[in-house]
Amino acid sequence: MKKRKENQGSAGISRREFITTTGLVLAGSAIKLDASAIAKIQDIAEEPIIDIHQHTDYNGRDNKYLAAHQKDMGATTTILLPSGRPVKTAATHDGISNGLQAKCTGNEVCYQFAKKHPKEFLFGANEVPDYPGAIKEIEKYLKKGAVIIGEQKFGIECDSPEMQKIYQLAQEYNVPVLMHWQYKMYNYGIERFHTMLEKYPGVNFIGHAQSWWSYVDRNYIDSEEMYPNSKVTPGGLTDRLLADYPNMFGDLSAGSGYNSLTRDEDQAREFLVRHQDKLLFGSDCPDPAFFGGSSKDAVCQGIRTIAEIRKLASTKTIERKILYENAKKLFRL
């Protein structure tokens, strides 16, 4: 395990300030580190940010570094999304998808970590949908204070009886459900999902991942192309679900969310305006820089996404909604 670097830079600027500066530069702002610029950086760093999508033990990252990573990124509140238990069922592709296919850990680890850091972390509840005790397990942690069910990242039809039991439980406990949409892999039948939004109007659903964000484009056809880079024609399935259903929200986390912002920035600016009350910041960041990465992709996913949101938001009001206010309202924080 590579030792984490110290939090103080050679120029006397804290790691937090350096990371915030990096984010602003990535956003296209030319920053000179004079006193006024550093004061501006510090003002931005003090703005609260809610990260709705993070994991424990993500790709082997030691949890002792998780709190520091989130603080360095700028998140003041983080929601931990547990995996289901490791089992061999159809929904886990006979075990391939255990740990959400990223070595993430489950309910008890997330609960205990949040309990240890109550001011900065909240936790979700999750279980493999076709595991016989799924509802009982999820409800156990909802009773302990879980604020969300998910992330539901399993190979199962989105309108299956097993999934509908989860939606019914979410309705009973008034918590959102976060769905990972990925072609032929997770949550099948996105084209039918509007029927679930209509059947469970009291449940707030959060869309995430490759297929969800590819569908911002009206010309996209569900396929193995997970990160399209073409110009976007508005009016895609994702666009329509967010516009037409008050209980549908979007999670901008991971490479898929970032790609949706950067592939066509002109369209993305308009998209943020249209759905300014429906979009939520999430990082889904395994901290690749910590593991010694040197490419641009090794820059913290959360930092890059925050920078892009700040770059594209046409007003400060929209920026604050996406980075904080929408999640604060949705999770009643």
As a residue count, the chain comes to 333
Q: Is 147 helix (H, G, I), strand (E, B) or coil?
A: coil
**Residue 206 main-chain phi, psi, to 5 deg:** -120, 120
**Residue 110 main-chain phi, psi, to 5 deg:** -65, -45
Per-residue confidence (pLDDT) for residue 43, from 0 to 100? 58
Q: Where are the domains of the chain?
A: 1-46, 48-330
Architecture of domain 48-330: Alpha-Beta Barrel (3.20)
- DSSP code of residue 120: T
What are the distances in angstroms from CA 40 to CA 20, 21, 72, 163?
Answer: 10, 10, 17, 46
The answer to whether the predicted template modeling score (pTM) of the entire model surpasses 0.85 is: yes
Pick from 77, 79, 87, 85: nearest CA to 56: 79
d(Cα 109, Cα 55) in Å, to the nearest integer? 10
- DSSP code of residue 222: S
Per-residue confidence (pLDDT) for residue 276, from 0 to 100? 98
Q: What is the mean pLDDT of each run of 10 residues along the chain (333 residues)?
A: 34 42 43 44 75 96 92 96 96 96 97 98 98 97 98 98 98 98 96 98 98 96 86 96 98 97 97 98 82 59 95 98 98 97
Per-residue confidence (pLDDT) for residue 225, from 0 to 100? 84
